[in-house]
Amino acid sequence: MKSHSAQKLALFSSMRYVSFALIVLRGLMVASILGPAAYGLYAIVIMLQQQFSSFGLGVRESLGVQLANLKTTDKEFTINVSSALWFSVFIIILLSLLSWITSSIENTLEITKYNLHIAFQLAGITIGTEILANITRARGMLTTVMIAELSYASISIFILWFISLSTSASEPLLYGLLFSHILMFLFYLAVHRKMAFSSFSLNHLKEQVRLGIPMLIQTTITTFIYSSGHYYLTLSDSVEQLSIYSFAFSLAIAAQLGVQSVMWAQFPAMVSVFGNTDNSIDSNRLIYNFEERVTKLTYSFFVICLVMMKLFLVILISIFFPEFIESTDIVVIVFMALYWPILAVSEATLLLARKQFRKLYLSSGSAILFLVFSALFNFFNFTFQESASQSTLAAITVCFANFIFYCMLKYHGGIALRYSVKDILFNICKTVAWVSILLGCYYSNLLIVSIILMFGMLMLVLKSSVFKKRVTS
């Protein structure tokens, strides 16, 4: 895989941030167009699309790992690329067939409002596009990826806005989104057309699937944890509550764009550092130093996000999205639910880099177990039902599930680095205390005092090692 200068990587990360920001803006635009009565139905299709990514059999996840150690001039590189290209075409055809079958079933059962057939079509095109995007990055064509992602974000906004001029139904907007994905796939296909007919190898494809399945399982489970609130509210048949929750979800993701972009840029370096070291004291110290920098980044963005939400969240929704004003009470809960795993991103990457998938499964499985336990005891129906809405209860439950996920990641990651259980628990408690103080500042009615305290904690994180772990031999 071709290496790149720090300046080019920084530019790529910045452009990706802009693309993500445009996509979030698109989501908010769609929410404004559809309103609480229909936005939830649109959002559930997007959630299903992500869950249906399991049909990709982990090829998009493993392809980057396989190509990382190959030169673009190697025959093995070309064979892997050609095999993945044809696999992407096969997946699109397969999911298009499933979409046709699902559409017939939906018409028969009269459940067309959920648009499952569009979710299958979106999933197929998305899987194929992401496989081709990974190939493009592996070939060192970062400028091409930047152009593709920025163009997709801009074109999709324009197409959805144009469609909204004549209709406010969710299905035409979803088809507009599908058309945008198709354009992006065709663009990447044109870029790699000469490699498509090189030399397909079933054995190479099998190896891609074999390497990708463990990563796919973890990705699918994690996506399910994030999406569980949407699924519950869908089953409850409360479209308005689903819309409120989905809108809060979109705002929470928007608040995390900064840290997500930075983590994406840091990920290759993290995998390299964590995966190419042993358990010696020097190696653990190297990992610790890198992990501490990443941890400070995640903590810093957490504070900045809370400050921005404290200053602008209520004003933003009140002025531009008054029909979603109920979501202001749950945005921070959803934000925290999504942020817990980010606070343990170093430990998660360490386990992934060292291929300790069983520990990743145990970590995410514990969160799934909590969700199942909550469902079995009818958590949503009788707990706090007099004082909280269904969307709020969904957000609280997902937040608790992701907190368990966070704790398990910290534990297994710490054990992998040979930390003592006492040290691991101490660090978890410190983080919980730190987060609790910040959230207390956020919910305080004293605006100026809250902002000053939060910025004070940000300076503490940046200038000290309050959260420093003791490396043991």
Record the tokens describing residue 174, joined without a space: 């979803």
Within 10 angstroms of residue 308's Cβ, the number of other Cβ atoms is 14
Same structural domain, 184 and 256 = no
> For residue 188, is it within any domain?
yes
Query: Of 107, 401, 74, nearest to 227 (Cα)?
Result: 401
Same structural domain, 346 and 401 = yes
Handedness of CA 399, 401, 406, 410 (dihedral sign): positive
Same structural domain, 260 and 193 = no
Q: Is the separation of the CB atoms in 395 and 326 below 8 Å?
A: no
Same structural domain, 244 and 190 = no
Convert the pLDDT of each residue in 353-374 to its tens digit: 777 888 888 888 888 888 888 7
Q: Is the separation of the CB atoms in 340 and 403 below 8 Å?
A: yes
* Domain encompassing residue 8: 1-211
Phi then psi for 314, rounded to 5 degrees?
-60, -40
Same structural domain, 279 and 384 = yes
pLDDT for res 144: 83
Same structural domain, 207 and 281 = no
Q: Which of the two residues, 194 and 97, has the higher pLDDT score? A: 97
Same structural domain, 198 and 54 = yes
Q: Give the global pTM.
A: 0.76
According to the per-residue pLDDT averaged within each range, which of 177-191, 216-230, 255-269, 455-469 is highest?
A: 177-191
Give the side-chain half-sphere CA count within 13 A for 414: 21
pLDDT level of residue 405 (50, 70, 90 thresholds): very high
According to the per-residue pLDDT averaged within each range, which of 49-58, 235-244, 273-282 is highest?
A: 49-58
> For residue 280, is it within any domain?
yes
Same structural domain, 313 and 194 = no
Convert the pLDDT of each residue in 65-88 to its tens digit: 666 666 666 677 778 778 888 888
pLDDT level of residue 383 (50, 70, 90 thresholds): very low
- CA 169/CA 175 separation, integer angstroms: 11
Write the DSSP symbol of residue 1: -
Convert the pLDDT of each residue in 289-348 to its tens digit: 777 888 888 888 888 888 888 888 888 888 878 888 888 888 889 899 889 988 888 888
pLDDT for res 85: 81
- CA 295/CA 290 separation, integer angstroms: 9
Same structural domain, 299 and 198 = no
Same structural domain, 181 and 64 = yes
Query: Of 86, 98, 93, nearest to 48 (Cα)?
Result: 98
Convert the pLDDT of each residue in 202-218 to its tens digit: 777 777 787 778 777 87
> For residue 221, is it within any domain?
no
> For residue 86, is it within any domain?
yes
Total tally of structural domains belonging to the chain: 2
- CA 390/CA 327 separation, integer angstroms: 12
Say whether pLDDT at 263 is over 80.
no
